[in-house]
């Protein structure tokens, strides 16, 4: 199935302060993968709370809630398996950055205390049919 997502400026003909609007640009493959992953997870019953949460030294692609569990999700697209597939690209260092961002999120969002887990949504090609969802992919140490 083809994906036709686009990132664009406002739909009007002028941008801020009368500047011309930016033309629509095709979304980057990583952004498309994140959108596909978010839609997939919502169909599985998760509620997407935040996308692309960043803090100094860490980031997490999606933060979701599944009932009483906060789910921190790493989305990976790797179409070339020469260096391993999408799962192989989630190194220990990458996991540490995700955990760091998760801890930061929890510390800056009061009332978010709940059980947490770390999932991965993997794509070896950019297609909804190619989604692999790994629940509890790794643990915070």
Nearest Cα to Cα of residue 136 among 82, 55, 42, 72? 72
Q: pLDDT tens digit string along 84-133?
A: 667 767 889 999 999 999 999 999 987 666 799 999 999 988 888 889 99
Prediction pTM value: 0.77
Decide if 60 contacts 98 (C-beta within 8 A): yes
Q: How confident is the model at residue 10 (pLDDT cuts 50, 70, 90)?
A: very low
The domain spans of the chain are 28-138
Nearest Cα to Cα of residue 63 among 74, 77, 48, 76? 48
Residue range 28-138 forms a domain whose CATH class is alpha beta
- CA distance linking residue 17 with residue 120, whole number of Å: 41
């Amino acid at each position: 199935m083809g994906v036709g997502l686009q990132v664009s400026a406002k739909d009007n003909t002028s941008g801020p302060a009368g500047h011309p609007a930016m033309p629509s640009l095709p979304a980057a493959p990583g952004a498309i993968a994140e959108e596909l992953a978010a839609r997939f997870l919502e169909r599985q019953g998760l509620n997407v709370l935040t996308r692309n949460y960043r803090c100094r030294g860490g980031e997490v692609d999606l933060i979701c809630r599944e009932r009483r569990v906060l789910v921190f999700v790493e989305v990976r697209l790797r179409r070339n398996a020469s260096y391993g597939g999408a799962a192989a690209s989630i190194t220990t260092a990458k996991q540490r950055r995700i955990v760091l961002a998760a801890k930061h999120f929890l510390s800056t969002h009061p009332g978010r205390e709940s059980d947490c887990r770390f999932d991965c949504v993997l794509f070896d090609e950019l297609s909804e049919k190619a989604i692999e969802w790994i629940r509890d992919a790794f643990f915070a140490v």
